[in-house]
Structure 1
Amino acid sequence: MKKQKWFQTLSWLLWCLFCIVSAFTTGYFLTMLFFKTTGFPSELVAFMICAFISLSLLSLEFFVFFFILQHSRQGKKHGWLQDRFFMIASDAMSRIARGEFSVFLNPKDFGEQRELVDSINKMAKDLGSMETLRQDFVSNVSHEIQSPLTSISGYVTLLENDALTPAQRKHYLHIIKSESVRLSKLSSNLLKLSSLDSGVAPLSISQFHLDKQLQNAVILLDPQWSKKNISITADLDKVTVSADEELLSQVWINLLHNAIKFTPEGGAIHIRLATNDGKTVCTIADSGIGISSEDQIHIFERFYKVDKSRDRSLGGNGLGLSLVKKIVELHGGIVSVESEKGKGTNFIVTL
């Protein structure tokens, strides 16, 4: 290290000596050349002119040298910053690849690379959100499967008791059947959502009467709303649409099923279908328990249930409205909700 510093000092001294000698030599010859053209002045004036030209040349040499040195240092610094950025970015990407989604790089530390740093931070945040959703999804599926399986296992054990009366045995078998249907519906909905998400099954587009489809959905659910003495009225324009008939039927059945489920006995449901500015709008309004504004934000999320305390009695697995939203969006439409606690709910589907 000392030898290197000594060598650098010696190089500086030799370079300065070279600059001084070259500047004064060049200045002398330029002065002589100038005097040959204009004539020789007194010795003092000639010396002053020669010194001025030589010092000017020396200043120019030092200016050029320091200008080149400064740009060389900036280039090295810029290169070092780039190397440092790529090293840190590479390490960040490796950590993200290992599942560390808490990675964050401060954009202020990287100057020109700010946009790329913002992209890395956004990617880490989005992947972290996706991982959280994945974990929640696995947890929810496990819970939804475990609950009916535990129930079935428990009642099967009870059925092994020979002392049961026929009425008790029938009751237990009814519960096992209900829980089996619940499991089957969960599996069916999960497969359907997976198929729609992946786009494996393309939409089967055909033309059909939407008003007739809504009427058929009401007739299909007749046992459910008749049992609760619910009044269903409809105001349906004659509308023909080009869509996937089977999937849209699922939308109306899910929405009507929810309306019936959350409308008390003796309540009312009204269905309205109309076209407006080239758009088809269907509204399903009920006089049920309503949905709070806090819950309305989440009702289309998978496995979200508004009233968790009533899950077992009302059935359902929190996938119905997710399916509705997915199917409507696949048709380029929008589904929205208007509701107030205790004053009923309106679901609006715009195609």
Structure 2
Amino acid sequence: MKQANRPPSAISVILLFFAFGCFFGAGYGITFMIYHWTGTPPEFWTHIISGLIGMILFIGVASVSRLIAGKYSKGIQQHHVMQSQLLNAMTRIAQGDFDVFIETWDEYHHNDMVAGINKIAKELGSMEQLRQDFISNVSHEIQSPLTSISGFAALLKNDTLTATQKNRYLGIIEAESKRLSALSDNLLKLSALETGGEPLSFIEFRLDKQLEEIALMLEPQWSTKHIAMEVDLERLAIQGDEGLLSQVWVNLLNNAIKFTPEGGVIRVILTSDQTNVRCRIIDTGIGIRPEDQIHIFERFYKVDKSRDRALGGNGLGLSLAKKIVELHEGQITPQSEINQGTTFTITLPKFHPVK
């Protein structure tokens, strides 16, 4: 609803006439100075020129004032708009909506705050996506063994099954139960390591003996596939968490055994220099494609999902191994070619301050 135009007040009229008087007086003063150098024209033209100069001064000052007032008013309006956008963005973020982006304005003096809120929204959105992916992956990994267990348990109710069939179904149920237990165990270990809930216990121990013992422990797996296990271990001791590092070698050797065909070769080579030790686990397996190598340490990532599930993997072994190596201030790097095998190189500091 439009408001009716109000007539100007008496004070406004007085101020307007006062301004006119001032500017015309200024125009008279300027012309008087000019006439001092050029000479005085007839009185009629004197009044005309003085009035024109006064009018020009009045219009010029009024235009500049209006421009300044307009810019000031626009700045205030933009400030209020930006404040409203910032408040709205923070409210949406607080409510869990991270799809927020605020455009910056050149005239706004707090663009650093705007950039900060945009960055917060982006980072929180990425974390939310990771959380959703994690929940989806965990649900998928749990659902698969539970479906198998439920299905084969239902089949066991059939009284006509032979002893051989029952044993086969029970074997599948047992294997799926172990896979479910391993998934839960790995998730708990990863969570404990990332939150510091499982402090590392550094001791000095013989790394070559540990690798030799693990290779012998896994002999039933690699000997069944007629894989040749070759070890070349330098005699050396390191400082580290013996139990956690054992999981690194078990995970890596298990993967090598899984993906190396019958009659293949697995080599474990341990060397050192003055400060570091390097363990290389080399297999002659199926290899990893270049586009997959950048993802293999991500949780639940599987190069070949159907084949890895058939072999009992859950996509957490390499994530766990990488985390343990990093906690020891080391590095783990893969090198692989399709059908040419894979090499994992683990570099660890030889001597670590005992914590």
Normalising by structure 1, report the TM-score. Answer: 0.83
Mapped to 2, the partners of 1:313 and 1:122 lie a distance apart of 42
Deviation for aligned residue 1:244: 1.6
Is 2:146 aligned against 1:154?
A: no
Mapped to 2, the partners of 1:148 and 1:288 lie a distance apart of 27
Deviation for aligned residue 1:318: 0.7
Mapped to 1, the partners of 2:45 and 2:242 lie a distance apart of 103
Equivalences, count: 343
| Aligned 1:1-351 pairs, distance under 5 A | 6-7=7-8, 14-22=14-22, 70-108=67-105, 111-276=108-273, 278-351=275-348
Task: Percent identity, please.
Answer: 50
Question: Which is worse superposed, 59-68 or 201-210?
Answer: 59-68
Deviation for aligned residue 1:28: 8.8
Residues 143 and 23 of structure 1, relative CA distance in 2, 3 Å threshold? closer
Deviations 1:273-292 (A, max 9, x none): 22347333221111000011
Per residue, is there more helix in 1 or in 2? 1
Deviation for aligned residue 1:163: 2.2
Residues 63 and 22 of structure 1, relative CA distance in 2, 3 Å threshold? same
| Structure 1 counterpart SS, 2:167 | helix
| Structure 2 counterpart SS, 1:327 | helix
Structure 2 counterpart of 1:21, one-letter code: G
Gaps of 5+ in 1: 35-41
Q: Please provide the CA RMSD for this pair.
A: 3.4
Question: Which is worse superposed, 224-233 or 234-243?
Answer: 234-243
Structure 2 counterpart of 1:7, one-letter code: P
CA contact 1:206–1:245 (8 Å) conserved in 2: yes
Residues 50 and 206 of structure 1, relative CA distance in 2, 3 Å threshold? farther
Deviations 1:305-345 (A, max 9, x none): 11122134311111111111111122222222111111000
| Structure 1 counterpart SS, 2:320 | helix
Mapped to 1, the partners of 2:46 and 2:239 lie a distance apart of 96
Mapped to 1, the partners of 2:329 and 2:152 lie a distance apart of 46
Mapped to 1, the partners of 2:98 and 2:30 lie a distance apart of 70
CA contact 1:230–1:267 (8 Å) conserved in 2: yes
Gaps of 5+ in 2: 34-38, 349-355
Mapped to 2, the partners of 1:216 and 1:67 lie a distance apart of 89
Q: Which has the higher contact order (CA 8 A, sep 6+)?
A: 2
Residues 311 and 27 of structure 1, relative CA distance in 2, 3 Å threshold? closer
Residues 69 and 200 of structure 1, relative CA distance in 2, 3 Å threshold? farther
| Structure 2 counterpart SS, 1:295 | helix
Deviation for aligned residue 1:6: 3.7
Mapped to 1, the partners of 2:248 and 2:132 lie a distance apart of 27
Partner of 2:353: none
Mapped to 2, the partners of 1:170 and 1:75 lie a distance apart of 86
Deviation for aligned residue 1:225: 1.3
Structure 2 counterpart of 1:202, one-letter code: P
Normalising by structure 2, report the TM-score. Answer: 0.82
Mapped to 2, the partners of 1:110 and 1:72 lie a distance apart of 16
Deviation for aligned residue 1:175: 1.3
Mapped to 2, the partners of 1:211 and 1:11 lie a distance apart of 99
| Structure 2 counterpart SS, 1:288 | coil
CA contact 1:85–1:110 (8 Å) conserved in 2: no
Structure 2 counterpart of 1:18, one-letter code: F
Mapped to 1, the partners of 2:141 and 2:345 lie a distance apart of 28
Residues 212 and 24 of structure 1, relative CA distance in 2, 3 Å threshold? same
